[in-house]
Amino acid sequence: MEAISEAAMSSDRSSSRRGGGGGLSNSEAGLREGAYSAIGAQMQMSSRGPAAATAAAAAAAAAAAAAVSAGGAGRGGSVVGVSGEDLASTTNGASSSSADLPGSAVPKLVPYLSRSRRHLPASSESPELRLDELRALFNKANGDPLRIRGIGAGAWGSVFIALLVDMYGHLQDKIDIRIWRRPGRALDKEFSERLFSIINSREDVLRRLLRRCAYLKYVEARLGDRVLYAEEILRDGFCVNMVDTPLCPLRVVTNLQEAVWDADIVVNGVPSTETRAVFKDIGSIWRERSLPPAVIISLAKGVEAALEPFPHILTPTLIIHQATGVPMENLLYLGGPNIAAEIYSREYANARLCGSEKWRKPLSRFIRQPHFAVWDNSDLVTHEVMGGLKNVYAIGAGIVAELTRESATCKSVYFAHSTSEMIYITQLLTEEPESLTGPLLADTYVTLLKGRNAWYGQQLASGVLTPSMGDSVKGKGMIQGVSAVAAFHDLLSHESLRVPHPETDQKVPPIELCPILKTLYMILHSREVGVEEILDVLRDKHDPRDRIALAHTCGIPRILMGFPELLQNVQ
């Protein structure tokens, strides 16, 4: 294999010299030549043992850095702040005791931690002890790893799995962590060039790819000689929806049955709009297995509105329950506040894991990290509803921020009215909702301040995007607030639901007391008004507290969540 690879590289070098590499400029040819030299040297030396491989990695890093700097000079591809000397000196510190990569004598990287992350104190409880506690709950014997599978590779889904790999990946005899994503998504040359620039601006990432013999394909993609695929780059730690924040390398599975067949814990990272379809397939797979039901942690934030036989809302955990038959006791929801890239960069964050006590307490301890506090809570309903609502109102927050040029006063007025609508809606949906305080309020705040839904609102207000372009945006993924607007609007405008209007005392649909939600629907779905209409809502003369007080006395039966045991009591 080594001889074949060298022959292939030599052949390609020759073609580059003869004909400019198929139209390559001198800088491009230099880039390829340097990359081949670096990788070829590493391949040749790796067979001579770990010490030689480590020395080769140093030489390879230096050669690659020089090649990239020289080759990219003509097209803006220089390495930012990285020199061959820096790379060589730091690579000499590589451990020669690491386990070898499959099919290679190149030392394997320990779980990747970026130098840019903050240095935080170690947890007082070792990862192995926490893992052993969880393994005991699953009755795991020695030699039988705990199998965790992420489903969906969006930003938060990928980061969540990467956090677990960083924490527990070295305990490979006790845990097996993988992530599933659909195969075949090709990445265009523009994306490949951007990714190549990011790789070359991060010396830790560049060094890691060289050690994994994975750098060359990014060179070829940048030159337009190769097409990269989403699942391919995810294995190297790059998520297409968050490419600016490289992750640790992940074990990627593209066959859904292979991913979930023997899974103990499944992490739902697909958008709420895709949850039903994906878990319907998973349910079909699981009907053939004899293992106990898996435990499912849902990260999805969104809802469906069901209007028959009466209006009720369906959250992701309820959708999964319907699609798979997994008991509600085994379904949990992890809510923020969380901005995926910031959490992986070790910014301090917290979250709540909601569900049954049997699983939420041990799993919250298992997920917890020094920079990521995870509390547990029994109120699954309120947290999931709020998880969907915050995305709705984040779109409006982005519109207001853009139209008012980030006016703090206008944004605070919007925050007051939007949170009162969220509390009002939640009061209609559940018997004893938790107050909008602590993490719930923090999650709402950070989502209105920053995130893809707020970004989407800003793009609408600036005219860069329009509602007709849909809710799937390149580089951002699914804007889940768009479908949630329609779901909550359809539910709260149903003819069977009536509440007293505070001024006329006439019975009106609840949507009439949610002017922001109603306006967002007219902007995004019926398209009756423009984005500027949202500013008129800020002039609402009613005290937001009145809306909340009204929800306590509206008289609507609190059965809108659609729980099976409640549905049986419907007249």
Beta bridge partners of 417: none
Contact 361, 376 (CB under 8 A): yes
The DSSP-derived string for 44-87 is HHHTT-HHHHHHHHHHHHHHHHHHHHHHHGGGT---SS--HHHH
507 is catalytic: no
Q: How far is CA 219 from CA 37, 200, 213, 223, 492, in A?
A: 13, 10, 12, 6, 53
Q: How far is CA 244 from CA 68, 197, 233, 338, in A?
A: 19, 10, 13, 17
**Within 13 Å, how many C-alpha atoms sit on residue 78's CB side?**
9
Angle at 32 between CA 44 and CA 247, to 5 degrees: 80
Backbone angles phi, psi at 497, to 5 degrees: -105, 125
The three-state secondary structure class of 376 is strand
Beta bridge partners of 333: 298, 354
Q: How far apart are CA 37 and CA 567, in angstroms?
A: 68
Report CA torsion sign: 176, 181, 184, 187.
negative
How many CB atoms neighbour CB 377 within 10 A? 19
Q: How far apart are CA 134 and CA 236, in angstroms?
A: 28
- Which parts of 315-439 are beta strand (E)? 331-335, 349-354, 372-377
Contact 149, 297 (CB under 8 A): no
Read off the tokens for 141.
Answer: 């014997």
Catalytic residue among 390, 411, 476, 541: 390
Residues recognised as catalytic:
390
